[in-house]
């Protein structure tokens, strides 16, 4: 198989910046059944780049370099590679004109240093940049046995992605030998170990399939992603076996009466699922938050089009506001406390009265790091769903930081809402 490696250039990538370009390239190659052999992450340093580039040239067939094509003195990729290959840099008028036009269009003055970006390595094919300045380059090196291909792409993800998709990906398609596909099942509110137990029969039956099958379980904030990857030379077989295995997994969950806990597949989020169900059934939603402090409303409104079903919400951080805005009774707060089943029920009644929404969610809890009592430890959260008739309440204790408690509470609340609506619809049938 063709050996592909990546060189990610940028001091920040060693220090704090997530390597999104690597992930992007990796996902795209995966869809062709190709893998990145390895990746080197380097600082903006000429000596290190020279040394590492030599190693990649010796060990890989295709090398994809990203980053270091900017106009400042830090950006040394093109100069270093040209020097290593013993090639000149040549000025390309067309690139320079593109850059000039870019600044004119933005109504900005042309920075002096930017001319540097119009120089490319002698003999390189130019990959034009449609969304930024620095062009990409492709260099083919003839070697004793065959050739080495070098792609040089800019660091800003938007620019890299456009050039990768339109140029590099198209070229790499010819190396495709296998097909890999994956499906991710998203499950809320079931621990990782329980999921392993549930799907054990599927994992054990794996050998009966001819493709290469891989399961991975990734937990995060009360959600678990179960990823199934299948690779084979035969695309039809991949599709067929992926479908079979998915069905087997759903059946296993069904046996445990937990099928409804798989709330979505692939890129779908909980808030999308909730939005879809509400939109489809022409129902509206409003929320009343205490400890999640606006995160629930924020997550719901991240979905484009949420204004069709989301009326709004209140963040009642103080007890005064709980009483004033939502008519939570003083004696309820005094007798049971703000973090109690009684309070979240009254919060739901209050937001229903204010907004008239078909469905209401309320959340009250102790996000930490302070506020815990003997009976109510840190992370204790009460959640209530109200459909105008039935209250559905739940008390959970989440572990983790303040933000992690907020996230887990929101995930659980959204999952409760979608299950609540779906079971209502099911009963009506």
Residue number with CB closer to a second copy (399 or 425): 399
Q: How far apart are CA 263 and CA 268, in angstroms?
A: 9
Given 4, 195, 296, 363, the residue binding a second copy (CB under 8 A): 296
Q: Does 388 bind a second copy (CB under 8 A)?
A: no
Segment holding 380, helix H or strand E: strand 380-386
Q: Out of 218, 234, 243, 259, which residue is the one contacting a second copy (CB under 8 A)?
A: 218
Q: What is the token pair recorded at 154? A: 């800019």
Stretch that binds a second copy, among 126-134, 236-244, 286-294, 372-380 (CB under 8 A): 286-294
CA distance 246 to 252: 10
Q: Are 342 and 273 in contact (CB under 8 A)?
A: no
Q: Which helix (H) or strand (E) holds 365?
A: strand 359-365
Choices 82-90, 115-123, 246-254, 362-370; region in contact with a second copy by CB under 8 A: 362-370
Q: Min. distance of Cβ 429 from a second copy in angstroms? A: 31
Residue whose token pair is 């329980």: 194
Asked if residue 48 binds a second copy (CB under 8 A), the reply is yes
Q: CB of 132: closest distance to a second copy in angstroms? A: 14
Rank residues 114 and 416 by Cβ distance to a second copy and give the closer one: 114
38 interacts with a second copy by CB under 8 A: yes
Q: Which CB, 53 or 124, lies closer to a second copy?
A: 53
* SS3 assignment, position 33: coil
Task: Tell me the C-alpha distance between 35 and 180, whole Å.
Answer: 10
Binder among 150, 245, 314, 347 for a second copy (CB under 8 A):
314
Report the residue number, 131 or 140, with the smaller CB distance to a second copy: 131
Q: Is 313 in the site for a second copy (CB under 8 A)?
A: yes
Q: Min. distance of Cβ 231 from a second copy in angstroms?
A: 13
**Residue 366, φ and ψ in degrees, nearest 5:** -115, 100
Residue span binding a second copy (CB under 8 A) among the ranges 40-48, 118-126, 139-147, 374-382: 40-48
3-state DSSP assignment of residue 136 = strand
The total of other beta-carbon atoms located within 10 Å of residue 336's CB is: 15
Instruction: For residue 380, give every residue at least 6 positions away whose Cβ sits within 8 Å of its Cβ, in sequence order, or none.
Output: 339, 365, 366, 372, 395, 396, 397
Sequence-ordered list of residues with C-beta below 8 angstroms from that of 22, at least 6 positions apart, any chain? 6, 8, 36, 39, 66
The residue within the footprint of a second copy, chosen from 32, 89, 92, 321 (CB under 8 A), is 321
Q: In the set 86, 93, 107, 108, which binds a second copy (CB under 8 A)?
A: 108
**Would you put residue 392 in left (φ > 0), alpha (ψ -120 to 50) or beta?**
beta
Shortest Å distance, C-beta 390 to a second copy: 24
Residue 23 as a binder of a second copy (CB under 8 A): the answer is: yes
What is the torsion angle, in degrees rounded to the nearest 10, for the CA atoms of residue 343, residue 346, residue 348 and residue 352? -160
What is the rounded CA–CA span in Å between residue 315 and residue 293? 6
Q: Which is nearer to a second copy, 11 or 176 (CB)?
A: 11
- Candidate list 4, 34, 40, 274; residue touching a second copy; CB under 8 A: 40
β-pairing verdict for 359-365 and 285-289: parallel
Annotate each residue in 397-426 with x if it binds a second copy (CB under 8 A) or - if it does not, as one string: -----xx--x--------------------
Please give the C-alpha separations between residue 71 and each of 66, 77, 115, 136, 379, in angstroms, as whole numbers: 15, 11, 8, 14, 49
User: Out of 273, 295, 383, 413, which residue is the one contacting a second copy (CB under 8 A)?
Assistant: 295
Site for a second copy in 323-352 (CB under 8 A): 324-325
Exposure string of 391-419, with b = 16+ CB inside 10 Å and e = fewer, is ebbeebebebebebbbbbbbbbbbbbbbb
Q: Which of 15, 93, 426, 429 binds a second copy (CB under 8 A)?
A: 15
Q: Which residues bind a second copy (CB under 8 A)?
A: 12, 14-16, 18-19, 22-23, 26-27, 30, 35-43, 48, 51-52, 55, 59, 108, 111, 193, 216, 218, 287, 289, 292-302, 304-307, 310-318, 320-321, 324-325, 354-355, 367-370, 402-403, 406
């Amino acid at each position: 198989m063709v050996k592909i490696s990546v060189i990610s250039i940028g001091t920040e990538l060693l220090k704090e910046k997530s390597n999104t370009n690597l992930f992007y390239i990796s996902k795209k190659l995966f869809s062709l059944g190709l893998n990145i052999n390895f990746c080197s992450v380097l600082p903006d340093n000429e000596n290190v780049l020279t040394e590492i580039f030599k190693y990649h040239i010796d060990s890989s067939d295709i090398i994809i370099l990203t980053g270091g094509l900017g106009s400042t003195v830090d950006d040394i990729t093109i100069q270093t590679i040209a020097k290593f290959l013993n090639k000149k840099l040549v000025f390309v008028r067309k690139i320079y004109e593109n850059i000039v036009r870019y600044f004119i269009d933005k109504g900005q003055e042309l920075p002096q240093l930017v001319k540097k970006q119009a120089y490319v390595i002698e003999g390189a094919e130019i990959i034009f940049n449609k969304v930024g300045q620095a062009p990409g380059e492709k260099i083919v090196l003839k070697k004793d046995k065959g050739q080495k291909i070098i792609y040089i792409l800019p660091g800003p993800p938007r620019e890299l992605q456009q050039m990768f998709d339109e140029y590099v990906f198209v070229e790499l398609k010819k190396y495709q030998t296998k097909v890999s596909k994956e499906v991710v099942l998203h499950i809320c509110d079931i621990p990782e170990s329980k999921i392993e137990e549930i799907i054990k029969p599927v994992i054990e039956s794996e050998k009966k399939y001819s493709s290469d099958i891989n399961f991975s379980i990734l937990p995060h904030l009360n959600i678990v992603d179960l990823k199934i990857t299948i690779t084979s030379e035969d695309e039809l077989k991949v599709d067929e076996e992926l479908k079979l295995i998915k069905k087997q997994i759903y059946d296993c969950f069904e046996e445990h009466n937990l099928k409804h806990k798989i709330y979505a597949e692939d890129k779908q989020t909980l808030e999308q699922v909730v939005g879809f169900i509400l939109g489809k059934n022409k129902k509206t939603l409003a929320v009343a938050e205490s400890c999640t402090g606006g995160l629930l409303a924020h997550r719901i409104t991240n979905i484009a089009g949420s204004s069709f079903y989301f009326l709004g919400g209140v963040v009642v951080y103080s007890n005064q506001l709980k009483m004033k805005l939502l008519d939570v009774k003083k004696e309820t707060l005094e007798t049971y406390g703000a973090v109690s089943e009684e309070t979240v029920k009254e919060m739901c009644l209050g937001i229903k009265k204010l907004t008239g929404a078909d469905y209401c969610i309320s959340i009250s809890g102790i996000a930490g790091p302070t506020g815990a009592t003997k009976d109510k430890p840190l992370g204790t959260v009460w959640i209530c769903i109200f459909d105008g008739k039935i209250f559905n309440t739940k008390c959970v204790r989440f572990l983790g930081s303040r933000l992690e408690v907020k996230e887990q509470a929101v995930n659980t609340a959204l999952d409760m809402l979608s299950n609540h609506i779906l079971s209502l619809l099911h009963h009506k049938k």
